[in-house]
A and B are shown apart, each in its own frame.
Chain A
Amino acid sequence: MAFQVKAAPDEPDLLFLPWNHMLEEWPDEATVSLPKGISRHIVKFVRLHGIVYAIKETEQPIAEREYELLQRLGRRGVPCVEPVGVISGREDRQGHELPAALMTRHLEFSLPYRALFSSTLKPDTAIRLLDALALLLVRLHLVGFAWGDCSLSNTLFRRDAGSFAAYLVDAETGSLEGKLSDGQRSYDVDLAVTNVTGELMDLQVAGLLHETIDPIQTGEQIRERYERLWSAITSPLVMSPGERFKLDERMRKLNAMGFDVAEMMTSTPLHPSDDEIRIVMTPKVVDAGHHARRLIRLTGLDVEENQARRLLNDLDQYRLELGLKTDEEELAAHKWVTEAFEPVINAVPKGMRGKLEPAELYHEVLQHRWFMSEKAGKDVGRDKAVADYVKSILVNKPEEKAIIGSKIGSEMDDTQEMRIVFPSELEDIDEVELN
């Protein structure tokens, strides 16, 4: 079979990677290796011109299927890694066939869950992780995607104004259907509970789980969170003709949760014989990202949902301070970007900007300003807050722009559950001998 690239990647240099070698044999200087899982695949990361790509070796039909699935999910606005291409028809120099490879673009500032805590996983972090994972599962189910292997390990997390936003990494076991049955959803949730509990138990055995966390009870919480969210989003609304307020209330609630509603479906009169006619309406949710979409429209800033919420609040306050009215929001937004947001980001020394995403930095500075002001009994002002934040907090944070694995990875060689290490050692591929 001839060497074949399914999708021309934006990065032509990817074509010149040493495809005639097993991934396992690729030079260490260029890559960071994930140890081989028991039956999963070898995954390595390469960095080209500052962008990190994940490369996974697998059978060609599986690589192509996952590539298409990720593409379809991405088009539907589901948070997942971005597929770049499938390389097939690989042969080594003796002409032996090599497995196909799926390439995805590594998500900047995303972290595997094991990199989100330094000593032990604490209850509040665990809960925030489960919240993010439950929301991701709901969003996937809303578009008709049955995951088949929902777990913390198959997810990447981005910081989101004190919470986390979850991204699907591994779609290999999944399938995109028109609409999921209750059975499919509940099976997916069962798998998530089992997987997460297993992951927490493993942390516990390793002494990495805070002593107050019970893996079984905590794992079970993913079900509760999922079900609460699912029912809040999809349960039908019953109302009488004079109860329009119920509809408004429901829309507001969904918006507050970050969901947009495209239309209310199925208007069925209930009990037509009753004196009072009642109507059943089911919201057709477009997707999460209500605030993120509003912020991008106003400012062009593409950020996570909670970050957007935080930034929009700040923008509102800024507008009021300027004495601008609600209908002058766009003008206010323009001024806010150039006079509030950008100065804060620019005040951070360049060398430290890889530690947090700009929106997360801004959120942290806002928070820091609030703490400082409370302590001082008066507003300390932006410049002082940024300077103090950089000096006392940011300086101690690790670089998070391209963490590919956890720092504790080296202790856990050789099974599928871990993702490994040390991006700082990555070199540009130009320096690697390709022969």
Chain B
Amino acid sequence: MASVVFENASRLYPGATRPAVDKLNLEIKDGEFLVLVGPSGCGKSTSLRMLAGLEEVSDGHILIGDRDVTDVPPKDRDIAMVFQNYALYPHMTVEENMGFALKIAGVEKSEIHKRVLEAAKILDLEQYLERKPKALSGGQRQRVAMGRAIVRNPQVFLMDEPLSNLDAKLRVQTRTQIASLQRRLGVTTVYVTHDQVEAMTMGDRVAVLKDGLLMQVDTPTNLYNHPNNAFVAGFIGSPSMNLLDLNFDDQGVIVEGTHIPLPSASLSAAKAEGLSTITVGFRPEDLVESPNGFPLTVDFVEILGADAYVYGPVKTADGSEKQVTVRADGRKTPNRGDVIRIQPTADHLHVFSTKTGNRLG
């Protein structure tokens, strides 16, 4: 097991004007489960492949443990790409299926047996070692496939969207299995996904990337509660945070003629930056009905059971309309056309610079 360090690591494709990964600085602790997440083209897969040795590092360094692996070929990095290959061999027993890659690597028979046994214990496969894949359930077979990677005792597991070819139900099940298995094994794991829900439910920490740049790396809770910038604020959470560009004065921002008070630190930071508008963010669940709140004409109500989501438009600083989402009690929902007055709770109000997207104050 080992830590992983990206040190100013960049990948510039020949002919491209902008790096696919731009000076990535990231430290992944020994035993940590780190998820790289972001929209398509953000550089998450490229970063993982740089770590795997599949992409050349144009600039900077990558370390596994204390070793600089920047120029080391993939097979000498002591990493395992998991789930690249699900094949099980029908005539070989579970033990043979799990251990055959070690046999190829020239590991001694007794050592192979020992490692397979250890992995089988963790995977609950001990009693099936002599069986053929045919005599296993689907879930057990999947665990045998995982066992193939585990017995190699790699320093780091790398997973690139491993669940993308599963249907929704199996995806949720396997997600839980992988996360709990990783915790039991304690092997440093870097996991790539485009799905923020997957990222938030699986990772010890989550690194959010956009356009090749690291936007924020933090625990799921901190990302959710303290996004460093408007991009992370909008990307993490479902339904998304409401983000509105609004005019402001000395008391706060103004929406539909009503003030939302802002902390003075945020306001002075905005002034210091010379901003004419401020981007304010609040999550659908952080809005309460209040006579002092801003008015929202209900456009649509989506009832999910206990909860409901209420949608309605508000005018932003440039005069355009933006839809606001409000979580409401599923048993007491307003009707279409009603005007409700709502206010973001002060503790959960996020303030960003409209110019840079960074958090203010």
Pick the contact of A413: B54, B73, B134 (CB < 8 A): B134
Asked whether B100 lies within 8 Å of A198 as measured between CB atoms, the reply is yes
Is A173's beta carbon under 8 Å from chain B? yes
Interface status of A367 (Cβ within 8 A of chain B): no
| Known contacts A59-B167, A148-B84; A202 and B89 CB within 8 A of each other | yes
Taking the closest CB of chain B, its distance from the CB of A425, in whole angstroms, is: 22
In residues 207-224 of chain A, which contact B (Cβ within 8 Å)?
216, 219
Q: Distance in Å from the Cβ of A180 to the closest Cβ of chain B?
A: 9
Task: Report the stretch among A74-82, A309-317, A415-423 that lies at the interface.
Answer: A415-423
Excluding A181-B55, A195-B85, A197-B100, 13 further A-B contacts by CB distance (< 8 Å) are A39-B165, A41-B165, A61-B164, A99-B167, A181-B56, A183-B54, A183-B73, A186-B73, A195-B87, A197-B104, A201-B96, A202-B91, A415-B133
Chain A residues, CB < 8 A from B91: 202-203, 205-206, 412
Residues in B whose Cβ lies below 8 Å from that of A183: 52-56, 73-74
Contacts of A41 in B (CB 8 A): 165
Q: Judge whether A187 and B87 touch: CB under 8 Å.
A: no
* Complex contact B74–A187 (CB within 8 A): yes
A191 interface residue, CB < 8 Å from B? yes
Point out residues on A near B: beta carbons under 8 Å. 37-41, 58-59, 61-62, 99, 146, 148-149, 151, 153, 172-173, 178-179, 181-184, 186-187, 190-191, 193-195, 197-199, 201-203, 205-206, 216, 219, 411-418
Q: How far is the CB of A209 from chain B (nearest CB, A)?
A: 10
Query: When chains A and B are docked, how far (Å) is the Cα of A413 from the Cα of B166?
Result: 22
Kindly provide the distance from the CB of B340 to the nearest chain A CB, expressed in whole angstroms. 33
Q: Which residue of chain B has the shortest Cβ distance to A189 in the bound complex? A: B75
Given the complex, which residues of B lie within 8 Å of A198, measured CB to CB? Answer: 87, 89, 100-101
Instruction: Say how far A191's CB is from chain B's closest CB, in angstroms.
Output: 7
A149 to B86, alpha carbons, bound, how many Å? 10
Interchain CA distance A179-B164 in the complex, whole Å: 25
A194 to B100, CA, bound (A): 9
One of B137-145, B306-314, B324-332 at the interface:
B137-145
A-B contact pairs, 18 of them (CB 8 A): A38-B133, A38-B142, A39-B86, A61-B164, A148-B84, A153-B87, A184-B54, A187-B54, A187-B74, A191-B85, A198-B87, A198-B101, A199-B89, A202-B91, A203-B91, A206-B90, A219-B104, A414-B133
Chain B residue, CB-CB nearest to A172: B165
Q: Give the contacts of B71-104 with A (CB-CB under 8 A).
A: 73-75, 81, 84-92, 96, 100-101, 103-104
A198, A203, A414, most chain B CB atoms within 10 A: A198
| Identity of the chain B residue whose Cβ is nearest the Cβ of A154 in the assembled complex | B87
Measured between beta carbons, the chain B residues less than 8 angstroms from A149 are: 84-85
The distance from the CB of A148 to the nearest CB of chain B, in whole angstroms, is: 6
Contacts A172-B165, A184-B54; A191 near B86 (Cβ below 8 A): no
Q: How far is the CB of A178 from chain B (nearest CB, A)?
A: 7
Contact residues of B with A, CB < 8 Å? Answer: 13-14, 49, 52-56, 73-75, 81, 84-92, 96, 100-101, 103-104, 133-134, 138, 141-142, 144-145, 164-167
- With a cutoff of 8 Å between Cβ atoms, the chain A residues found around residue B101 in the complex are 194, 198
Please measure, in the bound complex, the distance between the C-alpha atom of A197 and the C-alpha atom of B75, giving whole angstroms: 17
User: Please, how many angstroms separate the alpha-carbon atoms of A328 and B96 in the complex?
Assistant: 61
Q: A194-B104, A216-B104 are in contact. Are A62 and B165 (CB under 8 A)?
A: yes
Determine the residue in chain B with the shortest Cβ distance to A206.
B91
Q: B16: nearest residue on chain A (CB-CB)?
A: A178
Instruction: Collect the chain A residues with CB atoms within 8 Å of residue B81's CB.
Output: 187
Tell whether, in the assembled complex, residue B92 and residue A58 are in contact, meaning their CB atoms are under 8 Å apart: no
Report Cα–Cα, A216/B75, bound state, in Å: 17
Which residues of A lie under 8 Å from residue B84 when comparing CB positions? 148-149, 173, 191
Q: Are A202 and B90 in contact (CB under 8 A)?
A: yes
CB distance from A238 to the nearest CB of B (A): 23
B164 contacts across to A, CB distance below 8 A: 59, 61-62
Partner of A38, one of B49, B56, B86, B167: B86
CA distance A194 to B101 in the complex (A): 7
Given the interface contacts A59-B167, A181-B54, does A186 sit within 8 Å of B142 by beta carbon?
A: no
Give the docked Cα–Cα distance between A190 and B101 (Å). Answer: 11
Determine whether the beta carbon of A415 is less than 8 Å from that of B89.
yes
Residue from A179, A190, A412 within 8 A of B74 (CB atoms): A190
Residues of B within 8 A of A194 (CB): 85, 101, 104
Known: A181-B55, A202-B91, A415-B90. A187 touches B133 (CB 8 A): no
- A99 — nearest CB in chain B belongs to which residue? B167
Q: Is the CB of B88 within 8 A of A201?
A: no
**Cβ contact within 8 Å between A414 and B75:** no
